[in-house]
């Protein structure tokens, strides 16, 4: 009978897991607080004609675009360490995580259907989901163009005169 191979414990110091670092947790918390406050403010400012959930729709679609933009720029400009990680956590996970809201989207869709506006509910769900995906890709495209410009590379959509 053979015994399973056991790895010897490493003598190298273990890197502390990022999700356990209090500074990173605080960064996400601060970003999330700001994003939630911004969403709450916009909910009070953006009109809701005929009780349609336009504020949540606008917030979620804007957040989808901004998250695609942010993550693409960060991906193209360096590894997810140091300042890049802080920016991703404070703006992506924190701010945009607090800014966008799946729970309000789900509750509003159910409320529309329960009120007899199943057509509006279906349209709201379709626009939210499809629009979110499309705007994420649009944000990725804009982020790629921004990163190329910052790195001095020509934009894929621009035409340069041949030499």
Annotated binding site for Na(+): 97, 100
Closest CA to 112 of 102, 103, 122, 121: 121
Angstrom distance (rounded) from CA 62 to CA 25: 25
Annotated binding site: 97, 100
φ, ψ of residue 160 to 5 degrees: the values are: -105, 145
For residue 79, is it left (φ>0), alpha (ψ between -120 and 50) or beta?
Answer: beta
- Are the C-beta atoms of residues 28 and 90 closer than 8 Å to each other? yes
Tokens of 116: 């007899």
Non-local (6+) Cβ contacts of 142 within 8 A are 68, 69, 72
Angstrom distance (rounded) from CA 23 to CA 96: 19
């Amino acid at each position: 009978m053979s015994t399973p191979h056991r790895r010897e414990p490493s003598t190298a110091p273990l890197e502390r897991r990022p999700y356990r670092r209090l500074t990173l947790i605080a960064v996400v918390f601060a970003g999330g607080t700001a994003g939630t406050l911004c969403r709450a403010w916009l909910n009070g400012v953006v009109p809701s004609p005929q009780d349609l959930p336009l504020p949540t729709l606008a917030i979620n679609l804007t957040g989808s675009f901004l998250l695609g933009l942010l993550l693409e720029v960060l991906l193209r400009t360096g590894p997810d360490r140091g300042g890049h990680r802080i920016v991703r956590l404070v703006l992506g996970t924190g701010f945009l995580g607090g800014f966008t809201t799946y729970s309000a989207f789900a509750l509003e869709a159910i409320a529309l259907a329960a009120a007899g506006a199943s057509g509006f509910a279906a349209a709201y769900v379709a626009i939210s989901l499809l629009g979110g995906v499309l705007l994420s890709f649009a944000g990725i495209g804009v982020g790629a163009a921004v990163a190329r410009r910052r790195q001095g590379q020509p934009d894929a959509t621009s035409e340069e005169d041949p030499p």
